[in-house]
A and B are shown apart, each in its own frame.
Chain A
Amino acid sequence: MADVSVLSSRAEPRGTKPTRRLSSTNIMLYGTLLLVSVYYLLPLYVMIVTSLKGMPEIRLGNVFAPPVEITFEPWVKAWAEACTGINCDGLSRGFSNSVAILIPSIVASIAVASISGYALAHWRFKGSEAFFTILIFGAFIPYQVMIYPIVIILREVGGALGIQLMGSIWGLVIVHTIFGMPILTLLFRNYFTSIPDELFKAARIDGAGFWGIFFKIMMPMSLPIFVVAIILQVTGIWNDFLFGVIYTKPETYPMTVQLNNIVNSVQGVKEYNVNMAATLLTGLVPLTIYFVSGRLFVRGIAAGAVKG
C-alpha cells in the first residue's frame, strides 16, 4: 500500500492559501478524499506497474508491488507483435486505423453539426425546430434499434454509388457523423444563439449571406466551442467499440476492438504485462486529451449533458 500513497501524494493539498487550523472536520474531509482517490487511482497505478514487469515477476509478486526490474519489452510487444488471432502485428495497426477513422469523422461531424446549429440559431425555417427536437430525442434511442437498418442503408447506398461503405472506414465515418449530430448540434446551436442578433443583422444589411456570415463572423467568434467539440469527438470516437466492431472488417478494426481481441483471445499463454501495456496504449490518446485540455473537457461534457 506504501506505493499507492506515493502516487496519490500528488493529491495532497498545495497552493498559497493561508493555512487553516487542522480541525477534526478537516481531517475527516481530506481523509475521505484521499481514501476515495486511492480507489480512482488504483487501476491506473496497477496497469502501469504491471506493464513494466517481466512475466516471471508477475507470477511471483503481487499486483501492487512496483517492478523490481523495469522492462519496456511488454510495450514494444504490445505495439508491434501482439496477436489478435488473425494477425500478429500488434496494436500499431489498430492505432493507424483509429487515426484514419478519427480525422475524417471529426471533420465531417463538426462541419455538419456546426452548420446545422448555425441554421437553427439564425436561419430558422418552418419545421426546423421540429427536426431539432427529433434529433435530441433520437440521442436517447438505444443504438441497437438503429444498427441493422443502417447496415442495409450503407450497403445499398454504397452499391448504388459504386463505392464500398459497409465494412470500410468511410461507412464508419458516416455513422460517427450521424450519432455525433444530436449533441454537437445542440452545443453549436446554444453557442450561436448567444451571439448577439445585432451583429447578425448588421452583416445582413452589409449584404453577407448564409455562408459569408458563417465563415467570416460566426466561425472566428466561436473557436472555443469548436475546441470543445473536437475534444468531445476525439474521446467519443476513439473510445467507440460498438460501431467499430459492426461497421468495419478485421483489417480496418479501430484500436479498441483490436485491443479487446488481443487481450481476450483464448490462444496461447496470457501475457498480462503485454495486455496492460496494450490497454494503456489505447487509453493514452483520450487521457492525454483529458489532462491537456482540463477545464475545456469538463465544459464539453457538462454542456452536452446538462442542457440535453
Chain B
Amino acid sequence: MSEVARKPSGLTRNLTAKIASIPMIATALVIFIGCTIWTIYHSFTRSRLLPAPDKWVGLDQYERLWSTRRWLVSIENLAIYGVCSLVLSLLIGFTLAALLDRKIRGEAVFRTIFLYPFALSFIVTGLAWQWILNPDFGIQSVVRGWGWEGFAFDPLNSAEIAIYGILIAGIWQGSGFIMVIMLAGLRGIDDEIWKAARVDGIPTWKTYIFIIIPMMRPVFVTALVLIAASIIKVYDLVVAQTAGGPGIATEVPAKYVIEKMFQSQNLAQGFAASTMMLVSVLVVLIPWAYLEFGAKKHG
C-alpha cells in the first residue's frame, strides 16, 4: 500500500473510514472470495468426514457426481422448475402489473393481495401447499365431493409431476414480487408514448407487445437475473413441501449439497456439487454483467 502515498498522509489518510470498513472488507475478501476458493479447491480432494486438503484426486468427485442418479434427477428438476418458473413468473408478473396499470380502482388492495405471499417464508409456503394438495383432504377430495368421482390431482405423491406441485407453491410465493418490479417499470414509461400510440390508433395489446415491452428490456433483464438467482437457491420449499419425495422425485441441487456435507459425511461430493451450482450462476451472471456494465463503457 505504500506506493499509494501521493499525499503526505498515505495509508493513514481516511484512517477512520478504513477501520470502519474492516467488516465489509473482511466479508468481501474472507467470505466471498476466500471461502469460495476454499470450497472449489477442496472439491478436487477426497475429503469425507473432515476436509483433507492433501488428498488430491483431480476431477474424480465431478465424475462421481455426474454419474449419480440423484444428482441427475436434481439437475433435471432444477431445469424443469427453472424454465417453468422463469416463464410463468415473467408472464404472470407482467400481466398482473399491466392489469394494475390500467388505472383501476382498488389497485392498492390487489397489489397487497398479490404480494403478501412474498413476505412468508418458503417453509410456511411449502407447508400450506402441502396441505392444500393433500389427496385425502385437499383439492382432490373436495372436487370428488362435488360429484366428479374420477378426479385425480395428487401431484405431491406422483413422482412424474411432483415437481409441478412445488412449482405451484413457488409461483404463488414469488410472482407478486416480479409484479412489483414490472409495475415500477411500467410507471417509468412516459405517458406521451401512450398518447402517441392512441393517436396512431394502435390497439392496446399491440402497444404493449411492440412498444412497451421492448422499452422495458432492462426491467425484464433485472427480473430475469433475480428469478434465476432465486431458482438456484431453491431448498427450503422442497424440504418443507415434499422433503425431496416421493422417493427422489423432487430432489434439487441445493438439497444434494447440504445432505452430502452435513448428513452423509461426504464433504468433497458436496463441494463439487456446490461448485457446479456456482458455475451455473456464473453462466447467467457473466453475460448479464457484461451487458449491464460492459456495454455502457462502450457507449
Instruction: State the A residues within 8 Å of B (CB).
Output: 8, 10-15, 17, 29-30, 32-33, 36-37, 39-44, 46-47, 50, 58-59, 62-64, 112, 115-116, 118-120, 123-126, 128, 131-132, 134-135, 137-138, 140-150, 152-153, 177-178, 181, 185, 209-211, 235, 238-242, 246, 256, 259-260, 263-264, 272, 275-276, 279, 282-283, 286-287, 289-291, 294, 297-298, 301-302, 305-306, 308
Residues of B231-262 contacting chain A, CB below 8 A: 232-233, 235-236, 239-240, 243, 254, 257-258, 261-262
Q: Which residue of A lies closest to B6 (CB)?
A: A126
With A116-B20, A142-B254, A148-B39 already in contact, the answer to whether A135 and B114 are too (CB < 8 A) is no
Task: Enumerate 27 A-B pairs (CB-CB under 8 Å) in ascending A order.
Answer: A30-B104, A32-B99, A37-B110, A40-B172, A43-B125, A126-B4, A128-B21, A131-B24, A131-B25, A134-B33, A138-B28, A140-B229, A141-B281, A142-B232, A142-B254, A145-B40, A146-B31, A148-B261, A149-B35, A241-B121, A246-B262, A256-B123, A276-B127, A276-B131, A279-B127, A282-B123, A286-B121
* Chain B nearest Cβ from A198, distance in angstroms: 20
Q: Is B285 engaged at the interface, CB distance under 8 Å to the other chain?
A: yes
B119:A290 contact, CB within 8 angstroms: yes
Contact of B90 with A by CB under 8 A: no
Minimum CB–CB distance for A10 against chain B, Å: 7
CB contacts (< 8 Å) of B239 on chain A: these are: 241, 260
B39 A146 Cβ-Cβ under 8 A: yes
Q: How far is the CB of B178 from chain A (nearest CB, A)?
A: 10
Q: In this complex, what residue of A is CB-closest to B111?
A: A298
Q: SS class of chain B's interface: helix, strand, loop or mixed? A: helix
Looking at the complex, which of B66-74, B138-146, B194-202 is the stretch in contact with chain A?
Answer: B138-146
CB-CB nearest in chain B for A285: B119
Min C-beta distance of B271 to chain A, whole Å: 7
Query: How many chain-B residues does the 8 Å CB contact rule pick out?
Result: 96
Contact pick for A36, options B29, B34, B96, CB 8 Å: B96
Q: Chain B, 91-116, contact with A by CB distance < 8 Å: what is the 0/1 string? A: 00000100110101110011111111
Q: How far is the CB of B273 from chain A (nearest CB, A)?
A: 8
The 6 closest A-B pairs by CB, nearest first: A138-B32, A239-B121, A123-B17, A13-B105, A290-B119, A149-B35
Partner of B137 from the list A63, A126, A150, A286 (CB cut-off 8 Å) is: A63
Q: A40-B172, A297-B119 are in contact. Are A62 and B28 (CB under 8 A)?
A: no
Q: How far is the CA of A177 from the CA of B32 in the complex (A)?
A: 13
B110 touches A11 (CB 8 A): yes
Does the CB pair B128–A40 fall under 8 Å? no
A62 to B134, CA, bound (A): 11
- Do the beta carbons of B129 and A209 come within 8 Å of each other? no
Do B121 and A283 touch (CB < 8 A)? yes
Given A126-B4, A131-B28, A178-B31, residue A137 in contact with residue B21 (CB < 8 A) = no
> Nearest chain B CB to A151's CB is how many angstroms away?
9
Roughly how many angstroms separate A53 CA and B40 CA in the complex, as a whole number? Answer: 51
- The reply to whether A134 and B121 contact each other, CB–CB distance below 8 Å, is no
Contacts beyond the supplied A12-B106, A47-B131: 15 A-B pairs with Cβ under 8 Å: A32-B99, A39-B172, A43-B125, A43-B132, A63-B141, A115-B21, A125-B13, A134-B28, A138-B31, A142-B233, A144-B274, A210-B20, A272-B137, A287-B116, A305-B226
Q: Which residues of A contact B257 (CB under 8 A)?
A: 144
- Chain B contacts for A210, CB-based, 8 A: 16-17, 20
Q: Tell me if A125 and B17 are in contact (CB < 8 A).
A: yes
| Distance in Å: Cβ of A136 to nearest Cβ of chain B | 9
Q: Which residues of A contact B236 (CB under 8 A)?
A: 241-242, 256
Chain B contacts for A131, CB-based, 8 A: 21, 24-25, 28-29
Are the C-beta atoms of B131 and A50 separated by less than 8 Å?
yes
**Other-chain residue from B39, B100, B285 in contact with A137 (beta carbon distance below 8 A):** B285
A11 to B138, CA, bound (A): 25
> Considering the chains assembled together, what is the distance between the CA atoms of A43 and B127 in angstroms?
10
Tell whether, in the assembled complex, residue B105 and residue A42 are in contact, meaning their CB atoms are under 8 Å apart.
Answer: no
Residues of A within 8 A of B261 (CB): 147-148
Contact A15 B106, CB 8 Å, known A259-B127, A286-B119: yes
